[in-house]
Amino acid sequence: MASLREKIRIASGDGVADLLLKNGRVVDVFSGQIEKKDVAIFAGVIVGFGDYQAKKIVDVKGDFLCPGLIDGHVHVESSMVTIPEFARAILPNGTTSIVIDPHEIANVYGREGLRFMAESARGIPLNVFIMLPSCVPATDMETSGATLNASDLRPFFREPWAIGLAEMMNFPGVIFRDPEVLKKIEMAKGRPIDGHAPMLSGKGLYAYLTAGIRSDHECTTLKEAKEKLKNGMRIQVREGTTARNLRDLLPLVTTKNSRRIFFVTDDRHPRELLKEGHIDSMIRQAIRWGLDPILAIQMATLNAAEYFRLDGLGAIAPGFRADLVTFDHLGRFRVGKVFKDGILVAENGKMLVTSTPKRKGLRVGLRVRGSVRVRPLKKDAFLLRSNQPLAKVIQLIPNQIVTKRVTKKIILNEGVAYPNIKKDILKIVVVERHKATGNIGIGFVNGVGLKKGAIGSSVAHDSHNLVIVGTNDRDILKAVNAIQAMSGGLVVVLDGKVLSSLPLPIAGLMSESTVPQVYLQLEALHHAVRKLGCKIPDPFMAVSFLSLPVIPELKITDKGLVDVNQFKFVPLFGEE
Amino acid sequence: MASLREKIRIASGDGVADLLLKNGRVVDVFSGQIEKKDVAIFAGVIVGFGDYQAKKIVDVKGDFLCPGLIDGHVHVESSMVTIPEFARAILPNGTTSIVIDPHEIANVYGREGLRFMAESARGIPLNVFIMLPSCVPATDMETSGATLNASDLRPFFREPWAIGLAEMMNFPGVIFRDPEVLKKIEMAKGRPIDGHAPMLSGKGLYAYLTAGIRSDHECTTLKEAKEKLKNGMRIQVREGTTARNLRDLLPLVTTKNSRRIFFVTDDRHPRELLKEGHIDSMIRQAIRWGLDPILAIQMATLNAAEYFRLDGLGAIAPGFRADLVTFDHLGRFRVGKVFKDGILVAENGKMLVTSTPKRKGLRVGLRVRGSVRVRPLKKDAFLLRSNQPLAKVIQLIPNQIVTKRVTKKIILNEGVAYPNIKKDILKIVVVERHKATGNIGIGFVNGVGLKKGAIGSSVAHDSHNLVIVGTNDRDILKAVNAIQAMSGGLVVVLDGKVLSSLPLPIAGLMSESTVPQVYLQLEALHHAVRKLGCKIPDPFMAVSFLSLPVIPELKITDKGLVDVNQFKFVPLFGEE
């Protein structure tokens, strides 16, 4: 790597730069203007504008040049690929920096999971900054693979890649001053602490802010965003696969407040990464819906860099990293060339370099496979005995992760409770899979719509136990066994046979394949599920949230059925 | 101090706040709006808005409330008072935070001087953040009291009060990659590094920026500021006693770029602090000249806080420090009450609390007095022998710190050169006063206008040796001795007697008096100087810059006459 000395020398005009990008219309995010000028790059850094000698000249022929885009909050695990594969998917869209919260893998592998994510981000042409997960596990009503206490996190704050504390989902823990929560917050003092506080308002919000939490990506209404913004939070406008807040929040943005607003995806599945894009798609949408393109670009670059204090990122200026994107038209924002550290890494949607030079994470022997450890199950493991026909049933609400708690009559036969397939009351089981405790939660779910067979997943928020929804115990058991055999993954089972599957061997969360491959496998899975009668758009995602006991109303973990409104376990049978 | 736990508890509405400010119109610098609401304060921190129980209620009766003002770059020594006295002068003006560059005292006392400034800022109701001086001494063409090498600075970067590297005045050193300069810059990596690069442009500027320097307070024209801003510098708009750039730079500000611009005073003398005010005067002027008051307030608060990463400063929001200012009218910005950490410290221009609770700096035994050590002078110490009548003369330019180099005929008598009082060619001497080396620089100056006597000062940028301008050697010698007797200060001498003086016993730079007292003493000095025939507005300031060999064209140090354009010593006599 060239020294600072060398970079200054080239910048001063004494010597030859590596690259000169000629005839670009440079978007200046500082003053909000566009200027036609040539950009000189040396040793991965922008060193000046105008007339420089360079080893290589690239004429961008009047295209616009903007800084590489930044995703300010994303769980890479939700894309079911590794960081290098995620990079390969998003670099052609112009994203050159991501701020990740690896709390999914942390729930499985704890500190080892964090190290794996950090190591697997090394040497790839993407800046990956890690916010340390603040809430692992999400609750004590479930069995996770690992726990991250304040004392577990402390050493990570010394790592160069750890830039802050990730979304503090446990907002009641902040407001009611849970000592462990406050320890984590005090440890992160002086660094960004991300918020996650859906619908928090008034004094609850003030208490949360008093703790020093300064961002939020859970705003769904303009009113909520306005309250949070004026009270000092940066608003991370989210446009994920399911949670889509851009349209609702766009009216928030004015030239006076836009500096406090930036873009995040939170969770994007392979389909949306391929069909829509990444942060570029948010810029396009925002422009289409009337936002000044320069403000949109500022929100996708400088604003996130400033909040996270990413020195030398988010702008095209001397001393900044040469992460740049060309695009054709201010109103369209169609990404052409993507430069990372001054190297052309993608063009017209295609990667030009490999994103996986070194699989360091795997090399250094971090164990992130073989995470599925289930205590051997008896044939009648899922048998439900009851002497009364009323059960509390989890009712899905289409396209939402909240559920309803309803009471339904199920089928009783000689003291055994069965699913009522006609009425779409299916069995749901959550099998603990980290420590082979033998914990199994069993319940009923309405709204999945399977007429036969079963579907199962090792992606089950946030503890990622195995969650299976099925019409009969045999197929449910087969699903458990099939997932275990793959060391994690998604599976569709019928009559004791696997119809389709997606192995997710890394922590039971991530594939080793590319985003397009995972997308095709997911399509095949969905096709198979539809053959079983299920009509909901993304059944695996829907099911994966049924185990998250922080989202109302009724959820199920390996420890049992949880009434989230009361935040306690409730018996399956009976009305109360 | 109350714990975070306690603050969150009060914020949540459980318990009693310390103070409720009722009926304020709160300026929200995040969204650029104004909202009438009550502000709850506990343990020096804003904990919420609206309906809170509080031990004390202050009704601000519809006054506006804005965050405490921030001066983003100031040399306190220029006000010739200590930090506690400076605080006492500026708090009633609404300034609650200053970012200082203590490079004057550092030139006298080095690391001990830095520690003194840090210590004397402890326990006073003003936030004082220190940027570590980057250029001590300014050049090697003078003898300073101390040198701050990179290795001297290194330990200070661990101090909580040291937030970055102060103005890098040695821009040629950056551009031409002086190893010691680069060491300091690399040491400061990841923290703010302030610039000081008057008129630097194009590739020189790009080289300077490539080093990671991200601010500048030396812009004097709109064109210069525009270039620096678009290339990534924060523009520190300066309005000092002499350097006044607000009017020229104001047209720079737009809603799109204003976040990158903030206010600094750099150097303000007692007179201007008393007659005009401090950062509040910049807000008033900016509004008068047409700037949106909300933008002006943002520039005086949040923008500086963001650049310097002053967490919890610069806004009125939960979790932010309760540094607040009331004012009566958006168009006038006349400061009423000033709250520091939730305590009413000033009202209607008057301090209500003492600003000097503990003179810690002096207590801990830091030696910042007795700095004037001059080798005993012989009677003929200032005798100039010459065999030719042409001398290079420093010509003052009114109200500027640059000078002209002119060649003038002086009076020769039996091989001795004398001042030509009629033609206003006076003698100037610089006497080394730190190490008693006996170094004396002798030259001639035109433009001071003394008809008799002499004036002298231990404030002489940047090394702060003694500088005396006089009509005769006897009075010059008396001036030197008088300054030494005071351990530093300003003096007016006539016929071997001191007419007027201002002792500056702390490092020869600062008085122990208050700003109003120093102002009166300065007025008395100026009165005395005018009696000697001098008509220039601030002769001591003018003279104090004649020893600064980085400002063109001809200057004088204890080592001799310096042609700054050639950056070398030149003989006093002769045309070349």
Identify the residue among B47, B158, B203, B234 best suited for mutation to test binding to A, counting A beta carbons within 10 A and taking the highest.
Answer: B203
Contacting residues of B for A212, CB less than 8 Å apart: 311-312, 319
Q: Which residues contact A304 (CB under 8 A, 6 or more apart)?
A: A70, A71, A72, A97, A99, A262, A263, A310, A314
Amino acid code (one letter) for B381: A
In A106-260, where do the E strands start and end?
127-132, 162-168, 193-195, 215-216, 234-238
| Minimum-distance CB partner of A177 among B9, B210, B232 | B9
Q: Which residue has the tokens 């859906």?
A: A198
pLDDT at residue A215 above 80?
yes
* Class of residue A191 by CB neighbours under 10 A (exposed 0-12, middle 13-18, buried 19+): middle
Contacting residues of B for A175, CB less than 8 Å apart: 8, 12
| Minimum-distance CB partner of A30 among B11, B202, B257 | B257
Contact (CB, 8 A) for B194 and B101: yes
Q: How many residues comprise chain A?
A: 576
Label residue B1 by pLDDT band (50, 70, 90).
low
Cβ within 8 Å, pair A260-B30: yes
- pLDDT tens per residue, range A95-120: 999 999 999 999 999 999 999 999 99
Q: Residue A152 pairs with which residues in a beta bridge?
A: none
Identify the residue among B1, B18, B256 best suited for mutation to test binding to A, counting A beta carbons within 10 A and taking the highest.
Answer: B256
If you measure CA to CA, which chain B residue comes closest to A47? B210
Contacting residues of A for B311, CB less than 8 Å apart: 189-190, 212
Across B537-563, average pLDDT: 94
Q: Which residues contact A554 (CB under 8 A, 6 or more apart)?
A: A392, A393, A394, A395, A403, A404, A405, A561, A562, A563, A564
Nearest chain A Cα distance for residue B4, angstroms = 7
Contacting residues of A for B319, CB less than 8 Å apart: 209-214, 232
- pLDDT tens per residue, range B421-441: 999 999 999 999 999 999 999
Label residue A557 by pLDDT band (50, 70, 90).
very high
Identify the residue among B230, B261, B291 best suited for mutation to test binding to A, counting A beta carbons within 10 A and taking the highest.
Answer: B230
Instruction: Give backbone dihedrals phi and psi of B278, rounded to 5 degrees, phi first.
Output: -130, -130
Contacting residues of B for A295, CB less than 8 Å apart: 256
Label residue A551 by pLDDT band (50, 70, 90).
confident
Distance CA(B450)–CA(A39), nearest Å, equals: 56
Cβ within 8 Å, pair A319-B8: no
Contacting residues of B for A8, CB less than 8 Å apart: 174-175, 177, 182, 207, 210-211
Instruction: Give backbone dihedrals phi and psi of B478, rounded to 5 degrees, phi first.
Output: -60, -40
From the list A295, A224, A293, the residue with the least C-alpha distance to A254 is A295
Distance CA(B63)–CA(B41), nearest Å, equals: 17
Contact (CB, 8 A) for B361 and B119: yes
Contacting residues of A for B306, CB less than 8 Å apart: 306
- Amino acid B356: pLDDT: 62
Cβ within 8 Å, pair B260-A30: yes
Label residue A576 by pLDDT band (50, 70, 90).
confident
Across B507-525, average pLDDT: 97
Cβ within 8 Å, pair B8-A207: yes
| Minimum-distance CB partner of B256 among A31, A176, A320 | A31
- Amino acid A360: pLDDT: 45
- The separation between CA A325 and the C-alpha centre of its own chain, rounded to angstroms, equals 23
| Minimum-distance CB partner of B232 among A229, A309, A319 | A319
Nearest chain A Cα distance for residue B175, angstroms = 7
Contact (CB, 8 A) for A238 and A245: yes
Cβ within 8 Å, pair B175-A8: yes
Q: How many residues comprise chain B?
A: 576
Across B394-401, average pLDDT: 89
From the list A225, A279, A218, the residue with the least C-alpha distance to A250 is A225
Nearest chain B Cα distance for residue A312, angstroms = 8
| Minimum-distance CB partner of A12 among B13, B47, B203 | B203
Q: Which residues contact A69 (CB under 8 A, 6 or more apart)?
A: A93, A94, A95, A96, A97, A263, A278, A279, A280, A283, A300, A301, A325
| Minimum-distance CB partner of A12 among B204, B254, B312 | B204
Cβ within 8 Å, pair A311-B33: no
- Amino acid B126: pLDDT: 97
- pLDDT tens per residue, range B358-381: 554 454 456 899 999 999 999 899
From the list B187, B199, B230, B191, the residue with the least C-alpha distance to A46 is B230
- The separation between CA B267 and the C-alpha centre of its own chain, rounded to angstroms, equals 4
- pLDDT tens per residue, range A464-515: 999 999 999 999 999 999 999 999 999 999 999 999 999 999 999 999 999 9
Q: How many CB pairs under 8 A join A and B?
A: 180
If you measure CA to CA, which chain A residue comes closest to B33? A230
Cβ within 8 Å, pair B317-A232: yes
Contacting residues of B for A304, CB less than 8 Å apart: none
Instruction: Give backbone dihedrals phi and psi of B9, rounded to 5 degrees, phi first.
Output: -60, -50
- The separation between CA A109 and the C-alpha centre of its own chain, rounded to angstroms, equals 17
Identify the residue among A222, A230, A306, A311 best suited for mutation to test binding to B, counting B beta carbons within 10 A and taking the highest.
Answer: A230
Q: H-type helices in A422-514, by residue range? A: 473-485
| Minimum-distance CB partner of B309 among A32, A256, A309 | A309
Cβ within 8 Å, pair A256-B317: no
| Minimum-distance CB partner of B211 among A182, A204, A319 | A319
If you measure CA to CA, which chain A residue comes closest to B32? A256
- The HSE-up count of residue B484 (CA atoms within 13 Å, CB side) is 17
| Minimum-distance CB partner of A317 among B174, B232, B259 | B232
- Amino acid B365: pLDDT: 58
Contact (CB, 8 A) for B200 and B223: no
- Amino acid A88: pLDDT: 96
Cβ within 8 Å, pair A230-B320: no
Angle at B50 between CA B44 and CA B54, to 5 degrees: 50
Label residue B575 by pLDDT band (50, 70, 90).
confident
Cβ within 8 Å, pair B11-A35: no
Contacting residues of A for B315, CB less than 8 Å apart: 232
ipTM of the complex: 0.94
Distance CA(B293)–CA(B393), nearest Å, equals: 48
Cβ within 8 Å, pair B211-A8: yes
If you measure CA to CA, which chain B residue comes closest to A6? B177
From the list A29, A304, A67, the residue with the least C-alpha distance to A163 is A304
Across A176-191, average pLDDT: 96
Contacting residues of B for A311, CB less than 8 Å apart: 189-190, 212
From the list B78, B164, B167, B161, the residue with the least C-alpha distance to B126 is B161
In A419-534, where do the E strands start and end?
425-431, 440-446, 454-457, 466-470, 489-494, 497-503
Helix (H/G/I), strand (E/B), else coil: A245: coil
Cβ within 8 Å, pair A12-B294: no
pLDDT at residue B524 above 50?
yes
- pLDDT tens per residue, range A351-402: 999 866 555 445 445 689 999 999 999 989 999 999 999 999 999 998 788 8
Q: Which residues contact B315 (CB under 8 A, 6 or more apart)?
A: A232, B28, B29, B30, B67, B301, B302, B305
- Amino acid B361: pLDDT: 44
If you measure CA to CA, which chain B residue comes closest to A203? B12
Contact (CB, 8 A) for A236 and A215: yes
Amino acid code (one letter) for A338: V
Identify the residue among B210, B216, B320 best suited for mutation to test binding to A, counting A beta carbons within 10 A and taking the highest.
Answer: B210
Cβ within 8 Å, pair A31-B319: no
Q: Which two tokens stand for residue B362?
A: 């002096």
Cβ within 8 Å, pair B294-A211: no
Q: Which two tokens stand for residue A520?
A: 């095709």
Give Cα separations from A41 to A10, A268, A316, B439, B474 (angstroms).
9, 33, 11, 49, 62
Contact (CB, 8 A) for B49 and B22: no
Helix (H/G/I), strand (E/B), else coil: A445: strand
Contact (CB, 8 A) for A161 and A131: no
Angle at B546 between CA B543 and CA B549, to 5 degrees: 155
Distance CA(B436)–CA(B502), nearest Å, equals: 22
Least confident of A16-30, B216-230, B248-262, B395-409: B395-409
- Amino acid A357: pLDDT: 53
Label residue B357 by pLDDT band (50, 70, 90).
low
Instruction: Assign 3-state DSSP to chain B and report helix, strand, coil percentages, each to 5.
Output: 30, 30, 45
Q: Considering just the CA atoms, what is the radius of gyration of chain B in Å?
A: 25
| Minimum-distance CB partner of B5 among A35, A177, A230 | A177
Contacting residues of A for B255, CB less than 8 Å apart: 255-256
From the list B212, B308, B464, the residue with the least C-alpha distance to A309 is B308
Q: H-type helices in A178-292, by residue range? A: 179-187, 202-210, 222-230, 246-249, 270-275, 279-288
